[in-house]
Amino acid sequence: MAEPAPASPRGRMDRFIDGIELIAAIFVGLVAADIFLSVLLRYFFSYTIPDSYDFGRLLLGILIFWGIAATSYRGTHITVDLVWTVAGPRLKRVIDVFATSVLLFVVTVQTGTLFDKVRITYDDNVLTYDLHLPTWPFFAVAWLGDVSAVLLIAVRTYRLIFRPEALGAAPSIQAVE
């Protein structure tokens, strides 16, 4: 019986990527907990958490931007692969590099505009409705998620061009009929 091959050592970049994915997962949990607690308290105890709506929408915004970071590196976001599936390996790589480069450009521009939103929210002193808490920190955390997305997409682009083996095989999802 052959022994299993030792696991390949993970570099700092892979641990950084895992950390970003963990942060995105934490925000999924926070959004779910906020919704669950809000519904539970409102339905059974007729009590509303102050600023629950504001916290929910702000946390959902954070989740979206950190989710973009997590899914963009792995390439697990929704795609349309009509041409890619029939292309040869070389053309597939060209398509992947082009698509990832376009994504990098778009998310970089988005990050710049989101920073403007953080600055404007801070300057205008936008507050939550009930507790009058400043909302700019939520926008700043969302912006950090977008910055993480730019970093991870840049790493993905680099690896697609120079080290495609570092990306590993994409997980295959089979449809059940």
| Mean pLDDT of the residues in the chain | 85
Q: Assess whether pLDDT exceeds 60 at residue 26.
A: yes
pTM, entire model: 0.79
Give the model confidence (pLDDT) of 45-58 as tens digits: 999 989 988 999 99
- In whole angstroms, give the CA distance from residue 88 to residue 94: 10
Q: Which residues contact 87 (CB under 8 A, 6 or more apart)?
A: 95
User: Per mean pLDDT, which range of 55-64, 75-84, 138-147, 156-165 is the poorest?
Assistant: 75-84
| pLDDT bucket at 16, cuts 50 / 70 / 90 | confident
pLDDT tens-digit series, residues 86-129: 888 888 888 889 989 999 999 999 999 999 999 999 999 999 99
Asked if 133 and 127 count as a contact pair (C-beta separation under 8 A), the reply is yes
